Amino acid sequence: MKKSSKRLTVVLGTVLGSSLILAACGGNGDTAKTSGSSKSNSEGKSLSFRLADAHPDNYPTVLGDKKFAELVNKKSNGRIKIDVFANGQLGDEKSVIEQVQLGAVEFTRVSTGPMAEFSKPLGVFSLPYIFDDSEHEWRFLNSDKGQELLKGLESSKMVGLAYYDSGARSFYSTKPIKKVEDLKGQKIRVQQNQINIDLMNALGANATPMAYGEVFSSLQTGVIDAAENNTPSYVSANHYQVAKNLIEDGHQRVPEVVVASKAIWDKLSAKDKKIIQEAAKESVDTERKEWDKMEKDSEAKIKDSGVTIVKVKDVEPWQKKVKPVIDKYRADYGDVLDAIDKARK
């Protein structure tokens, strides 16, 4: 390890917790807090890792993370422990991704929205109206091409373990929105990537990229007029209490990913890698079931709380407006878009 990067990791370790200091002292193959013999990989050692998630404790992704941690613990007979840090305790998604790249945080569950700035191929999920519904999306995610995108994270110092569900995103505002034209001139918070900025420009709106944790107060104080997300986030982050106009256009389906730090991964034994990979895949079922439940609960809560809901029956005028965005990115994502088309029944 180069001297400068070692110093950076040690500083981060001091700030973020003791497990990282051991990671910085690597070289003998130790990862995070380890004990046991000093073999050149993780074989037989006790390991303790952290997983970061932006959502609160009862949110589907966090319940998925916890299932993942539980399965890893069980499959390793208690030898590998993963502590889930929910509520953005370890930082916003962008900074957590950077920490994962450094190996300072070992695992995270993040949205492919901010991930797109770190692994360009994942930007495809920020393109508008590319999936018909959840079934279409999952057929693609489970296809060879979908899995290839997960694998592609390795060139960005991460290992993609699984996709989690995140439904469809729609707009909500402090101002009335009845049709696509009403978005014109509104200041809309978006996830931090360039495609989202282009998307808002195409709609005649002003894009304001910012971290998820800042959206509630920004809506409340009028820094932004609007935002967009799935209904479980709209409810659990309390955005529905301040932005009371929801228009269900479902412009994006931006899946979540569970990733490991490649710096840590490379030090694991083949057996431990297998345990972790299998556990992540098996946890998807829990997350998806919890997702379906929370989507229904959120819809009910929104209805009961005086939110004005407009359901978009015909998305064609919306698709027309955002076509320049697809045209701009078709060259970059042509093969993936073709695979997405093929995943249509």
- Asked if 229 touches ligand BDP (CB under 6 A), the answer is yes
Burial of 305 (0-12, 13-18, 19+ CB in 10 A): exposed
Cα separation, 75 vs 85, in Å, equals 21
- Asked if 230 touches ligand BDP (CB under 6 A), the answer is yes
Cα separation, 214 vs 40, in Å, equals 43
- Asked if 166 touches ligand BDP (CB under 6 A), the answer is yes
SS3 call for 268: coil
Tokens at 343, concatenated:
């995943």
- Asked if 233 touches ligand BDP (CB under 6 A), the answer is yes
**Rounded to the nearest 5°, which phi and psi values hold at 303?**
-60, -40
Cα Rg of the chain (Å, integer): 21
Question: Binding string, 173-212, against ligand BDP, x = CB under 6 A?
Answer: ------------------x--------------------x
Cα separation, 48 vs 159, in Å, equals 18
Question: Binding string, 124-163, against ligand BDP, x = CB under 6 A?
Answer: ----------------------------------------
Interface region with ligand BDP, contact rule CB under 6 A, candidates 18-26, 73-81, 225-233, 301-309: 225-233
- Asked if 256 touches ligand BDP (CB under 6 A), the answer is yes
Per CB under 6 A, which of residues 41..60 are in contact with ligand BDP?
A: 54
Other Cβ atoms closer than 10 A to 35: 11
Per CB under 6 A, which of residues 97..126 are in contact with ligand BDP?
A: 110-111, 113
Are 215 and 198 contacting, i.e. CB atoms less than 8 angstroms apart?
Answer: no
Minimal distance, residue 237 CB to ligand BDP, in Å = 8
Nearer to ligand BDP, 30 or 295 (CB): 295
Per CB under 6 A, which of residues 286..345 are in contact with ligand BDP?
A: none
Minimal distance, residue 196 CB to ligand BDP, in Å = 10
Tokens at 20, concatenated:
């990282």
| Whole-Å CA distances, 103 to 3, 5, 23, 97 | 16, 11, 8, 10
- Where does this chain bind ligand BDP (CB under 6 A)? 54, 93, 110-111, 113, 166, 191, 212, 229-230, 233, 256
